[in-house]
Amino acid sequence: MINQKIHYFLTLAECLSFTQTALRYDVSQTAISQYISSLEKRLGVRLFQRERHSVLLTEAGKYYYDQVSAQLKQYEETIEKLKVIDKGYRGHLKIGVGLYEYCSTETLFASFLSSHPEVKIDILQYPYSILTEQLRLGGLDIIICDALCEEAFSRNELQTRTLFSSPNLIAAAPETAEKYHHDISAIIRNECMITNCESGGPSSLQMFRRLLMDEFGFIPNNIAQTNSVNAQLMMVRARHGIAMVPGFIMKAQAPDLIGFQLPSQRSIDYKMLCLKGSKNQAVSLLFEFPWNQ
């Protein structure tokens, strides 16, 4: 059993503030200080360098933090798997999906769980940068995403499976389309482009600007960011701008909007990714599961 007070050390190591750590656990600063002192005495090393107005990790403290964090993660995963086994499951998958991909994978998960009720599935939704990071760190077993996420890994790191393909479309409110006589170039030049792209990562604003330049030969003057499909489409319906979204999203969630094809009419592959050498047998079950959208 791991002493839960070790979280005092981990939090202090992350925020470097006795005040914030005490507030986090609703205890006094004295209690945090006493625990850290007793921990250092028990280990025989200094974990923190305390100054009058600052707290810093020593080299020993940094090493201890890395080791304890890894052990705590392994312990928590063990407890989680015990609970899964206790409920009668024989497999457990943590799956991450992007901001769009949930819309075309419900039948995959329904079919898989119907065939494999012994497998517990947890589905989490993240932006692409977090999806790729969590897959690399082991927080997710599988991610379902735009094929561009493959660029975050070396070629020999991944096992991949293409699930479906879809073109991107420019979504506009009917009134917006009429305003410019359905001239897509005029619409893009004059309307705000609303995107879910992130500041960095696989789906970055830089990538988005390159895509617009490749497709239309120019970049809109006004680009706005949002963090959800619903917010993106709501802004389009409110005639606050236009958006580039996958065709399957338009079909499922925005049949009331006008969808303009891109000049290239290129389809995007949406894939299932996992790290090669996964020891989770349920990963292979899902990768090999026969499914057609």
What CATH number does residue 65 fall under?
Answer: 1.10.10.10
Q: Where are the alpha helices (DSSP H) in the chain?
A: 6-15, 18-25, 29-43, 59-86, 106-115, 128-137, 174-179, 184-190, 205-216, 229-237, 247-253, 281-287
Write the CB contacts of 43 (distance below 8 Å, at least 6 apart in sequence).
64
- What span, in angstroms and rounded, lies between the C-alpha atoms of 180 and 260? 13
pLDDT of residue 293: 62
Quote the tokens at residue 268.
């995007």
97 in a domain, yes or no? yes
**What is the reported pLDDT for 84?**
67
Q: Are residues 214 and 176 in the same domain?
A: yes
Domain boundary among the residues 26, 42, 75 is at 75
Q: 157-184 as b/e, with b when 16 or more CB fall inside 10 Å?
A: ebeeeebbbbbbbbbbbeebbebbeeeb
Domain shared by 150 and 199, yes or no: no
Q: What is the mean pLDDT of each run of 10 residues along the chain (293 residues)?
A: 80 92 91 92 93 89 91 80 72 92 89 90 93 93 95 92 95 96 95 91 90 93 91 95 95 95 94 93 92 71
106 and 43 co-located in one domain: no
> How close are the terminal C-alpha atoms of the chain, in Å?
46
Q: Which two tokens stand for residue 145?
A: 């995403």
For residues 175 and 261, state if they share a domain: yes
Question: Which CATH number is 261's domain given?
Answer: 3.40.190.10
**Computed over its alpha carbons, how large is the radius of gyration of the chain?**
24
What's the CA gap between 7 and 4, in Å, rounded?
A: 6
Closest CA to 121 of 160, 79, 91, 162: 91
pTM for the model stands at 0.73
Q: Look at residue 80 and tell me if it is in a domain.
A: no
**Does residue 96 share a domain with residue 228?**
no
What's the rounded Cα separation, in Å, for the pair 230 and 109?
22
The total of structural domains in the chain comes to 3
pLDDT at residue number 77:
75
How far is 227 from 203, CA to CA, in rounded Å? 12
Of 248, 1, 289, nearest to 161 by C-alpha is 289
Q: What is the phi-psi region of residue 181: left when phi exceeds 0, alpha when psi lies from -120 to 50, beta otherwise?
A: left
One domain, residues 42 and 109: no
15 plus 59 within the same structural domain: yes
pLDDT value of position 71: 87
Q: Would you say residue 293 lies in a domain?
A: no
Neighbours of 145 (CB within 10 A): 28
13 CB-near residues (< 8 Å, 6+ apart): 47, 57, 61, 65
